[in-house]
Chain A
């Protein structure tokens, strides 16, 4: 009973939507019926168009995330551990952070055209900051008592990093990771919608030109599903690596 309860409202909305469409209250060129959206999805899946586009989008997202997240993680660690590195780069990075990365789209198109690099660059830039800020915060919030204990017990710098700093910073890094995943999809949606010749955003924009509203709605749902999938994966990772922490173990 308690397991089915959260599904009641979405189910009711879906039902009302379908009935409204069938009765003609909701016009098909505004919002097609759920059955029509499902049919469009089935069509796209059968033709293979869906999978090609999902693959292209996912590859862009993950590559951009790996690049931006990797650089953000490296800078976060370096600046958390070394005050020289921090005073050298942190304020510059904070300045760049204040530029909304999506505002760079015109510039990015001028630089890279509408090729893959443009999207990957934007995703990487968007993902960089949440990972950077949260990694830095995580390293800073490691209990200094534990660091002192590690040193007093003769841990090498390497052991200190692997056994104290990294696990101590991990909860905060995960916050950055989940936030970064959200930004990753958002950036990709915008970039693909504005200029692309493949991907889910292209699929949606292409369908708009031919007034295929059902495909447009379906594309939006695909984005939502991919976002949910990424978040669930991050949560699973969080739960397994932070099992020591009672806050996460119970979730």
Chain B
């Protein structure tokens, strides 16, 4: 990782601090019609924390993430990011399950989408190219997204999310569609950039081992409530197959499967 490049980007974007954001949820509910997806969530996420949200499908984990990212509004309760109630914010970025790249824009232009509000074209281009280097896609800047593999597309999506130096990165099952090896590579990449930049990360995943590999803290959502809040106090980088990780994974899986 080229530190001078990071410094240069941070200097060029003085309004954006590269540190993380603290997130607080208070009595958050969300209902779609008569169906209450979230039943009252109270949550404190610390600055720079890496939180994973797991749960069975339909438990409301993606809904929760969309609320935190400001894409939807809660039915009741409050969500604050750094003490400010949300709505859409420039320093919160969301990464989706699908790459959602614009197929008619070159890779570098897709990354520039993350800098929509930056005026200077040359600056935008330089930041986008630097970020592509960070995600390991140096030299692919001027290709069409259609020629990239699934993993490479997700890397571009990650670059697009990172290029504006968000203080909170919300990831909605970003690796769900990737093959096992590419997944592990992407997990390592996400962990590396997170350690490097210190943003707060919230990842929604159905894969418990992914949660254990990445997160400081795992929240298990059940029937719209936080059913388990597990701290993962393992040193990084985490080796896959570590027995302590396996123990944590086992505990969470037991809880998930008991209701099967």
Which A residues form the contact surface with B (CB < 8 A)? 145-146, 148-156, 159, 163-164, 167-168, 170, 242-246
* Set B113, B145, B146: member contacting A153, Cβ < 8 A: B113
Tell whether, in the assembled complex, residue A146 and residue B100 are in contact, meaning their CB atoms are under 8 Å apart.
yes
* Neighbouring B residues of A151 by C-beta, 8 Å: 71, 88
CA–CA, A155 to B160, complex, Å? 13
Tell whether, in the assembled complex, residue B116 and residue A153 are in contact, meaning their CB atoms are under 8 Å apart.
yes
CA–CA, A60 to B143, complex, Å? 42
Instruction: Pick from B69, B71, B88, B113 the residue with the most CB of A within 10 Å.
Output: B113
CA–CA, A239 to B94, complex, Å? 34
* Neighbouring A residues of B71 by C-beta, 8 Å: 148, 151-152
Tell whether, in the assembled complex, residue A145 and residue B160 are in contact, meaning their CB atoms are under 8 Å apart.
no
How many contacts A-B (CB < 8 Å)? 50
Which B residues form the contact surface with A (CB < 8 A)? 69, 71, 88, 90, 93-94, 96, 98, 100, 102-105, 113-114, 116-117, 144-146, 160
- Which residue from chain B places its CB closest to the CB of A167 in the assembled complex? B104
- List 18 A-B residue pairs with CB atoms under 8 Å apart, sorted by A's residue number: A145-B96, A145-B98, A146-B102, A148-B71, A148-B100, A152-B69, A152-B71, A155-B116, A159-B116, A163-B102, A163-B105, A163-B113, A167-B104, A242-B104, A243-B144, A244-B103, A244-B105, A245-B146
CA–CA, A192 to B100, complex, Å? 50
* Set A159, A168, A244: member contacting B146, Cβ < 8 A: A244
CB distance from A244 to the nearest CB of B (A): 4
* Neighbouring A residues of B114 by C-beta, 8 Å: 153
* Neighbouring B residues of A246 by C-beta, 8 Å: 146
CB distance from B135 to the nearest CB of A (A): 17
CB distance from B152 to the nearest CB of A (A): 16
Tell whether, in the assembled complex, residue A145 and residue B100 are in contact, meaning their CB atoms are under 8 Å apart.
yes
- Which residue from chain A places its CB closest to the CB of B100 in the assembled complex? A149
* Neighbouring B residues of A150 by C-beta, 8 Å: 113
